[in-house]
Amino acid sequence: MEQPPSSPPPPAAATATAAPTPAPASAPIILSDSPPAAAAGAEPALTAAQKALRSKPARAPEDPDKKNKKLKDVEISFPIVYGTISFWLGKKASEYNSHKWTVYIRSATNEDLSVIVKRVVFQLHPSFTNPTRVVEQPPFELSESGWGEFEIAITLYFHSDVCEKRLDLFHQLKLYPEEDAGPQSTKKPVVVETYDEVVFPEPTEAFFLRVQNHPAATVPRLPPGMTLSSPGPMELMSHDKKRFDTKDHSLSQWFSNFSEADELLKLAAARQQVQAHIAKLRRQLSMIEGMPQQSRVISGPGQQFGHG
């Protein structure tokens, strides 16, 4: 059955104030109202501000080609998570509106992804009104309601200095819990997430400088002998962790933890389960081997199998 179209609420987006862009290097200040002329050969009196400006060396113009230079043998990676969280509406559920759900893409450490992502396009089932949803600011997510499960296409577009290619991802929306998870509950959602790492080989120098200290990025050390130019105003812009991260997200309590320590704990628990299962199979095998073997005789015509 197709899901009836509904008027979707606009995708949720965090409000943020853009970080101020540092002003370019100022040219020498020329005052239109000149002070009274000084005696011949005497140095005119300067204010403290004029002296400060005078003492600063002029910045040489930056070479744009140098900032677009590719860094060979260097890779920058960003761990990402994409998925859905769905809540059963309980008594408010109807035949065609049983769940409210959110699809999203986030950093694996819940840091700001807008440092690399320019916009995200979510392609919903065609039965939805306006099934192509574009989100151009973090958090990169949208919320909807309905009754059916379907595959959601997620397309990431990156900033021009990051990558010209887009990234296509696909995620299956899941509304109903597995049988062994118990009955549906309005308090416990169904969470399905996928972890992945986006790797950018041979990044530009501008991209490297911009994300080298970003908490969501995995940036290696430069190869021996490789040097970078001085960072410009864009690279000096501080990364405010509180701007667009998802640590304070209303759904963050349901996010999976994909840290290395958590993964090691999961691997250790899985290993214990496997070892317990192997021990159980060995006990069963020992019991079977200890049972007396029953002789079986191939029966002739008119005789039943195993009987004389």
The model's pLDDT over 187-230, given as tens digits with 9 standing for 90+, comes to 889 999 999 999 999 999 999 999 988 988 988 888 887 777 75
In DSSP notation, 266-295 reads: HHHHHHHHHHHHHHHHHHHHHHHHHSPPPP
Residue 142 has a CB neighbour count (10 Å cut-off) of 22
- pLDDT number for residue 271: 75
Question: What is the phi/psi pair of residue 238, to 5°?
Answer: -75, 150
Place of tokens 């006990």: 283
| H helical segments located in 177-259 | 205-211, 233-236, 241-244
Domains of the chain: 80-194 (2.60.40.1970)
The answer to whether residue 64 scores a pLDDT higher than 60 is: no
The answer to whether residue 110 scores a pLDDT higher than 90 is: no
- pLDDT number for residue 162: 92
Residue 252 pLDDT level (bands cut at 50, 70, 90): low
Beta strands 151-158 and 167-172: pairing type?
antiparallel
The answer to whether residue 42 scores a pLDDT higher than 60 is: no
CA dist 140 and 13 (Å) reads: 7
Cα separation values, 105 from 8, 14, 56, 110, Å: 19, 14, 45, 10
- How does pLDDT run across 271-282, given as a tens digit for each residue? 778 878 888 888
